[in-house]
Structure 1
Amino acid sequence: MGLAHFLAIARGDEPADLAFRNGRVCNVFTGEIIDADVAIAGDTIVGVGPDYDAKEEIDLGGRYVCPGLIDSHVHLESSMVTPYQFARAVVPRGTTTVIADPHEVANVAGEDGVRYILAASEGLPLNVCVALPSCVPATHMATAGAELTARELESLANLPRVVGLAEFMNVPGVVLGLPGALEKLEAFRERVIDGHAPGVGGKWLQAYVGAGPGSDHECTTVDEMLEKLRLGMYVFVREATGAKNLRELVPAITPFNSRRCAFSTDDRHPADLIEEGHIDHLLRLAVSEGLDPATAIRMATLNAAEWFRLRDRGAIAPGRKADLAVFADLKDFRAELVVAGGRV
Structure 2
Amino acid sequence: MGDKKADLVLNNCSLISVYTREIIPKIEISIIGDRIAYVGPDASHTIGSKTAVIDVKGKYVSPGFADPHIHIDQFVLPSEIAKKSLLCGVTSLFSDPIDIVSVTGYKGFQEFLKLGENLPIRIFQVVPGGLPVDRKFSNSKTLSLLQEKDAIKHPNVIGLGEVFSWTKVTLRDSKTMKSLSTMLDNGCIINGHTAGASGKKLNAYVSSGILSCHEPTNFDQVLERLRLGMWIMIRE
Structure 1-normalised TM-score? 0.64
Q: Looking at CA atoms only, which structure, 1 or 2, has the larger radius of gyration?
A: 2
Q: CA deviation at 1:138?
A: 2.8
Aligned residue number for residue 134 of structure 1: 129
Q: Aligned partners of 1:212 and 1:144: how far apart in 2?
A: 28
Aligned residue number for residue 106 of structure 2: 111
Q: Aligned partners of 1:17 and 1:144: how far apart in 2?
A: 53
* RMSD over equivalenced CA pairs, Å: 1.3
* Contact 1:19–1:39, Cα closer than 8 Å, also in 2: yes
Question: Where in structure 2 are the equivalents of 1:333-344 lying within 5 Å?
Answer: none
Aligned residue number for residue 235 of structure 1: 232
Aligned residue number for residue 209 of structure 1: 206
SS of the aligned residue for 1:85 comes to: helix
Q: Report the CA distance shift for 1:170/1:14 in structure 2 as closer, same or farther (over 3 A).
A: same
Q: Report the CA distance shift for 1:143/1:177 in structure 2 as closer, same or farther (over 3 A).
A: closer
Aligned residue number for residue 18 of structure 1: 8
* Counterpart among 26, 38, 41 of residue 29 in structure 2: 38
Question: Where in structure 2 are the equivalents of 1:136-175 lying within 5 Å?
Answer: 136-175=131-170
| 1:61 matches 2:52 | no
Structure 2-normalised TM-score? 0.92
Letter in 2 for 1:109: T
SS of the aligned residue for 2:100 comes to: helix
| 1:222 matches 2:212 | no
* Contact 1:149–1:184, Cα closer than 8 Å, also in 2: no
Question: Where in structure 2 are the equivalents of 1:294-313 lying within 5 Å?
Answer: none
**Number of matched residues?**
228
Q: Percent identity?
A: 35
SS of the aligned residue for 2:4 comes to: coil
Deviations 1:9-34 (A, max 9, x none): xx122321101111111111111112
Aligned residue number for residue 121 of structure 1: 116
SS of the aligned residue for 2:233 comes to: strand
Per mean C-alpha deviation after superposition, the further-off stretch among 207-216 and 43-52 is 43-52
Q: Aligned partners of 2:133 and 2:56: how far apart in 1?
A: 48
Q: Aligned partners of 1:198 and 1:236: how far apart in 2?
A: 13
* Counterpart among 189, 192, 198 of residue 192 in structure 1: 189
Q: CA deviation at 1:136?
A: 2.1
Q: CA deviation at 1:145?
A: 4.2
Q: Aligned partners of 2:223 and 2:18: how far apart in 1?
A: 23
Q: CA deviation at 1:142?
A: 4.3
Per mean C-alpha deviation after superposition, the further-off stretch among 30-39 and 117-126 is 30-39
Aligned residue number for residue 320 of structure 1: none
* Contact 1:26–1:66, Cα closer than 8 Å, also in 2: yes
Q: Aligned partners of 1:29 and 1:144: how far apart in 2?
A: 47
* Contact 1:137–1:148, Cα closer than 8 Å, also in 2: no
Q: Aligned partners of 2:90 and 2:132: how far apart in 1?
A: 30
Deviations 1:74-97 (A, max 9, x none): 00012x221111212221221110
* Contact 1:170–1:181, Cα closer than 8 Å, also in 2: no
Q: CA deviation at 1:147?
A: 2.4
* Structure 2 unmatched ranges of 5 or more: none
Q: Aligned partners of 1:41 and 1:138: how far apart in 2?
A: 47
Aligned residue number for residue 76 of structure 1: 72
* Contact 2:127–2:157, Cα closer than 8 Å, also in 1: yes
Moved over 3 A (4+): none
SS of the aligned residue for 2:174 comes to: coil
Q: Aligned partners of 2:196 and 2:147: how far apart in 1?
A: 30
Higher relative contact order (CA 8 A, sep 6+): 1
Aligned residue number for residue 92 of structure 1: 87
SS of the aligned residue for 1:137 comes to: coil
Question: Where in structure 2 are the equivalents of 1:259-274 lying within 5 Å?
Answer: none
Q: Report the CA distance shift for 1:145/1:200 in structure 2 as closer, same or farther (over 3 A).
A: closer
Q: Aligned partners of 1:37 and 1:131: how far apart in 2?
A: 36
Q: Aligned partners of 2:125 and 2:62: how far apart in 1?
A: 24
* Contact 1:25–1:33, Cα closer than 8 Å, also in 2: yes
Deviations 1:160-200 (A, max 9, x none): 21111110112111112121111111111132111111131
Q: CA deviation at 1:206?
A: 0.7
Letter in 1 for 2:94: I
Aligned residue number for residue 290 of structure 1: none
